[in-house]
Structure 1
Amino acid sequence: MALLKGWRYGVFISGIVGLIGLAIYPVVIDPMLHTDKYKEVQKHNRAGVNQEAIQPGNMKVWSDPFGRK
């Protein structure tokens, strides 16, 4: 088996880094860049849910995770 040397090694490493980047983008980067899309999905999923009624005793009601201080 031939060892990767020179530009072939660079292409190999770049390919691995690129594949990892492609796998991580929809999970990590897209939600951070496009919060409005996820706010709408969350609003749709929580429609008609009374948080006060389903919250366990004396616990704080879940707040907007996108709200910043």
Structure 2
Amino acid sequence: MSTLKGRKFIAFISMIVGGIGLAVYPIIIDPMINTDKYKKIQEQTRAGVNQEAIQPGGMKVWSDPFGRK
């Protein structure tokens, strides 16, 4: 088994970091940048759902804790 030295080592580490970056982008970065796209998807999937009727234990429906009262 040969050891990686010099440019081959740098290329190997770059490939690992690039692969992690490619895997993380659609999961973490894209939803943070394109929030409108995901808000529209939620509106479509939650259409016709009565949150008060399906809320367990008589708990109140979630609201924004940082919103103005």
What's the TM-score once normalised by structure 2's chain length?
Answer: 0.84
Matches of 1:38 and 1:25, distance apart in 2: 15
- Residue number in structure 1 paired with 2:61: 61
Q: Which ranges in structure 1 are unaligned for 5 or more consecutive residues?
A: none
User: When the two structures are aligned, how many residues end up with a matched partner?
Assistant: 66
Comparing 51-60 with 2-11, which one deviates more in the overlay? 51-60
Greater per-residue helix proportion: 2
What's the TM-score once normalised by structure 1's chain length?
Answer: 0.84
Structure showing greater relative contact order (alpha-carbon pairs closer than 8 Å, 6 or more residues apart): 1
Q: Which ranges in structure 2 are unaligned for 5 or more consecutive residues?
A: none
CA root-mean-square deviation:
1.6
